Amino acid sequence: MIRFILKRLTSAIPTLFVIVTVAFFLMRLAPGGPFSLERPLPPQILANLMAHYKLDQPLWAQYLDYLKGLMTGDLGPSYVYRDFTVDELLLQGLPVSIQLGLSALVLATLIGCALGTIAALRQNRPADYSVMAVALIGITIPNFVMAPVLTLLFAIHLGWLPAGGWGEGALVNKILPVFALALPQIAVIARLTRGSMIEVMRSNHIRTARAYGLPAHVVVGRALRGALLPVISYLGPAAAALLTGSVVIESIFGVPGIGRHFVQGALNRDYTLVMGTVVTVAVFVVLFNLIVDVLYAWLDPKVRLE
């Protein structure tokens, strides 16, 4: 197991290198720059700023300088938030984004598995049709559309929840952004669980368990363990989708996470802030996929990671 984990972490280095390289040069190809303001700066001040941040150097020199800093954990200074480094900004926003993303992932897994199991046990009945109809709505409507609708309904019309803000992590402030972020994943996980559960319930070992007269909850529990394998495989891409989707959700609800920094950095051409966010998200995606592989092997003894 340790050998497998080390091998996966080693193979992730080229992937991260490609991501950093592509993101670095794409940011430079975008029109404008970090000091392109509505009111242009005087040429001398602009030249001093470019020299201070080494933006007057050739592009290849800037790239090598960034890689050198990245290897030591230095993501560079922010060009817009000049009193902060990128490391400081990400350390402020990362705990918030982790809370938001993990809460949405846990909520999506629990609700999605429960709804999928109910639909599978009530196949071709009203409960099955209702769950699949809700799942279809959750898949087809993106979260940047659902989030304003939920805000309009529960915050403005009903007044039950705040319309935005994080409120220092208060539960009432988390409900809308977490649910809006989790809703598409609830739909996907419910459909995956339903299809897998129907297949497992028809397998020979479940038929044998029923023939031995085992209680229904025991049979369902054994079937659910096998049915969770496709769901576990999907959790890696789901975590990536939640991390990227949180960029939109954090902007809509005013959540002070790294997604909000990414949007502001992209709008202001804050190269280092955008690059720092991209690197952070890429690292988390690699780690989530590694965790999924380990969980898959734990659930299915037939899988041998070595």
Look up residue 239 and give its two tokens: 């975590």
DSSP per position, 98-112? HHHHHHHHHHHHHHH
Query: What is the model's pTM?
Result: 0.75
What is the rounded (10 degree) CA torsion for 202, 208, 214, 220?
A: -20
Sequential DSSP letters for 178-199: HHHHHHHHHHHHHHHHHHHHHH
The highest-confidence range among 30-34, 40-44, 279-283, 290-294, by mean pLDDT, is: 279-283
Give the phi and the psi of residue 187 in degrees, each rounded to 5: -65, -45
Residue 297 scores a pLDDT above 70: no
Domains and CATH numbers, the chain: 93-299 (1.10.3720.10)
Tell me the pLDDT tens digit for each residue of 36-51: 655 666 777 767 777 7
Quick one: pLDDT band at residue 228, thresholds 50, 70, 90?
Answer: confident
pLDDT at 84 over 60: yes
Determine how many CB atoms are found less than 10 A away from the CB of residue 205.
Answer: 11
